Amino acid sequence: MTGDGTPDLDELAAVATELEFDPPESVLKSVRDAASQLASSAATVRERETPVATENSSQEELLDDEYGALLYGYKTPHQRHADGRLDGCRVAVKDNIAVKGLTMTCGSSEFEYTPGFNATVVDRLLDAGVNLVGKANMDAFAFGPSGEFSGRKPVTNPIAEDRIPGGASSGSGTAVAAGIVDVALGTDTGGSVRIPAACCGVVGVKPTFGAISTHGVVPFAPSLDTVGPLARDVSTATDAFTAIHGSDSRDATTAQTPSLELPDTPTFGIPESFLEDCTSQVVDEFAELRETLSTKFEVRPVDLPLGSIEAAYSLVGATEFAWFIRQQGISRGIGATYDAGWADALHEFMTEHGFSDHVAERVLPAATIDARESGKPYLAGRREARRFDQYLQEAFADVDLLVTPTLRSVPHERGNIGADGSMYDLLGNTAPFNLTGHPAVTLPVAERDGLPVSAQVIAPRFADKIALAGAKQIEDHVDTS
């Protein structure tokens, strides 16, 4: 490259070879002139970028609680407006969501970055009157799902310390269950809001893909990533969802959620396939839930074959994260934007430290076969997701909502979930709806030996408010005491 940023012919030829182009030298010389002009334009555009890393706020401190739920936050909770839907509500946000001036770690022991702006969801929370406490702990770079892989400090389930808190939004679920905050935001790519909610016995919302902006949220798998609230009851979770949902010009995947209403006597569908791999404890409690619902509503069995949807999640999610790494932290194409400062910080982290062994165990299998087979496994995963989506559309032609167990067992004892097939005890019932983009709300419906059993309520895409209304109907008719 020349001093003014113009690429030389050798550099152009190398990129051409990488892309399997074979232009003659005359074309390369023409390209060089166009590239020079483009480099100048890019420099001008970068000068107008969103502000990058700033100095830490003088109000920042490392928060301390007995459960390891929180990381960096404010000495005094930050409030922008003293009114709004969530006036006075204490809130924490997962540490892969940008908060201006607060250190972001993504749950990694070595990574730190200070954003110069708020994520869209943070601005919307502040506009709704919340008291923002700070950042919630998480599994490093959102690779759970058990909640045992934070590089900062261990997270303890406040209702059963010998059990996993669930992840990757482990601190979010724990902070809500322990009463440290009223609402927490998590991110859900395969279940990372619903799993900790289910493990900690609280409510968790995975919205329709595109219902809530991911601008300012560190990506995992951009075509699957969502942001959702956790709370101790459905009404509070609904208020939080209402405050943060809606289209955002900075995230082209977003759209406004329509104002749909649940019928007075909704029909619930129970897909038996989601019970087949559940433990007897969960099956028994779910049978009681079905009986309870049948006294108030119409409940129908639904044929919803799972097929190879579990494998599809690994082929899609892990492969997209591998692409994200290869692109040095810049998502090209689908998804919201972050900023150049983030990409620089991630590149420095990868160069000097690198990802944990747990992340490697989760990513390498899919990344390896994807590279070996030139992306065909990823396409196969996408086709499997479309097949499952077709079954869902057929199911919703006959019922208003689907209800399944959230987890296939009660929360596991610590140390029993790895990167192998055991993680599907946690992910198996949640990840399918990330692949299809449907909204899903989890809530506790029973207790077994002091441990929560939760159900998730699934609605058609962009019928998030119907899913929340259905969850409220269930909450009103079950006794978890």
Query: Is the pLDDT assigned to residue 225 strictly greater than 60?
Result: yes
Q: Is residue 276 one of the residues assigned to a domain?
A: yes
Residues 36, 72 within the same domain:
no
Give residue 236's domain range.
60-477
Same domain, 15 and 146: no
Which is more confident, 5 or 399? 399
The token duo for 470 is 């259905």
Please check whether residue 378 lies inside any domain of the structure.
Answer: yes
Tell me, what's the pLDDT at 212? 97
pLDDT at res. 382: 97
Judge whether residue 3 has pLDDT over 80: no
Instruction: Return phi, psi of residue 83, to 5°.
Output: -155, 175
The answer to whether residues 121 and 17 belong to one domain is no
Q: pLDDT-based confidence at 143, cuts 50/70/90?
A: very high
Query: Which residues lie closer than 8 Å to 139 by C-beta, 6 or more apart?
Result: 107, 145, 146, 147, 148, 149, 150, 167, 168, 170, 192
For 91, phi then psi, to 5°, come to -135, 140
Q: CA distances (Å), 231 to each of 342, 477, 481, in order?
A: 29, 19, 17
Backbone angles phi, psi at 298, to 5 degrees: -85, 130
Q: Tell whether 177 is covered by a domain.
A: yes
Regarding whether 109 and 27 lie in a shared domain, the answer is no
Question: What is the reported pLDDT for 300?
Answer: 97
Residue 53 resides in a domain: no
User: Hey, what amino acid is at 223?
Assistant: S
Complete edge-to-edge strand list for the sheet that includes strand 451-458: 60-62, 70-78, 131-136, 90-94, 183-188, 226-231, 203-206, 440-448, 451-458, 401-405, 267-271, 298-302
* Residue 440 confidence (pLDDT) above 80: yes
Phi, psi angles (nearest 5°) of residue 451: -115, 145
Q: Is 293's pLDDT higher than 90?
A: yes
Q: Does some domain include residue 2?
A: no
Residues 83 and 22 in one domain: no
Asked if residue 69 belongs to a domain, the reply is yes
Q: How confident is the model at residue 446 (pLDDT cuts 50, 70, 90)?
A: very high
Amino acid at 188: D
Question: Mean per-residue pLDDT for 234-250?
Answer: 96
Reported confidence tier of residue 185, pLDDT bands at 50, 70, 90: very high
* Number of C-beta neighbours around residue 284 at 10 A: 14
408 vs 59: which has the higher pLDDT: 408
352 part of a folded domain: yes
The segment with the largest mean pLDDT, out of 44-58, 331-345, 352-366, 397-411, is 397-411
Instruction: Judge if 167 and 314 occupy the same domain.
Output: yes
Which of 333 and 190 is assigned the larger pLDDT? 190
Q: H helices within 159-233, ranges in order?
A: 170-177, 194-200
Q: How far does CA 326 lie from the centroid of its chain?
A: 21
Q: What is the structure's pLDDT at 481?
A: 64
* 38-88: pLDDT as tens digits: 777 766 655 555 555 444 455 799 999 999 999 999 999 999 988 889 999
Check whether residue 188 and residue 282 sit in a common domain.
yes
* 264 and 382 belong to one structural domain: yes
What value does the mean pLDDT take over residues 92-121?
96
Asked if residue 3 is part of any domain, the answer here is no
Residues 40 and 69 in one domain: no
Residue 113 sits in the same domain as residue 42? no
Instruction: Please say if the pLDDT value at position 8 is more than 70.
Output: yes
pLDDT for the residue numbered 1: 46
Same domain, 37 and 71: no
**Do the beta carbons of residue 469 and residue 261 sit within 8 Å?**
yes
For the CA atoms of 297, 299, 304, 310, what is the dihedral angle to 10 degrees? 70
DSSP string, 22-75: ---HHHHHHHHHHHHHHHHHHHHHHTTSPP---PPPTTEEE---TT--EEEEEE
Using the 8-state DSSP alphabet, how is residue 433 labeled?
A: H
Task: Look over the chain and give the mean of its residue pLDDT values, rounded to a whole number.
Answer: 91
Q: Compute the average pLDDT of residues 146-173.
A: 97
Mean pLDDT of all residues in 129-151: 97
What integer pLDDT is reported at residue 56 of this predicted model? Answer: 43
The pair phi, psi for residue 206, each rounded to 5°, is -100, 115
Looking at the 3D structure of the chain, how many domains does it have? 2
Per-residue pLDDT band at 258 (split at 50, 70, 90): confident
Predicted TM-score (pTM) of the model is: 0.93
Q: Percentage of the chain surpassing pLDDT 70?
A: 93
Residue among 87, 86, 88, 98 at smallest CA distance from 122: 98
Q: Can you tell me the mean pLDDT for 399-403?
A: 98
Nearest to 436 by CA among 206, 202, 196, 94: 206
Of 296-300, 344-348, 424-428, the poorest mean pLDDT is in 344-348
Q: How confident is the model at residue 295 (pLDDT cuts 50, 70, 90)?
A: very high
Q: Per mean pLDDT, which range of 182-196, 222-236, 354-368 is the poorest? A: 354-368
More confidently predicted of 20 and 154: 154
CATH for 455: 3.90.1300.10
Q: Which residues on adjacent β-strands are paired with residue 32?
A: none
Least confidently predicted of 12-16, 88-92, 130-134, 176-180 = 12-16
Q: Same domain, yes or no, for 31 and 76? A: no
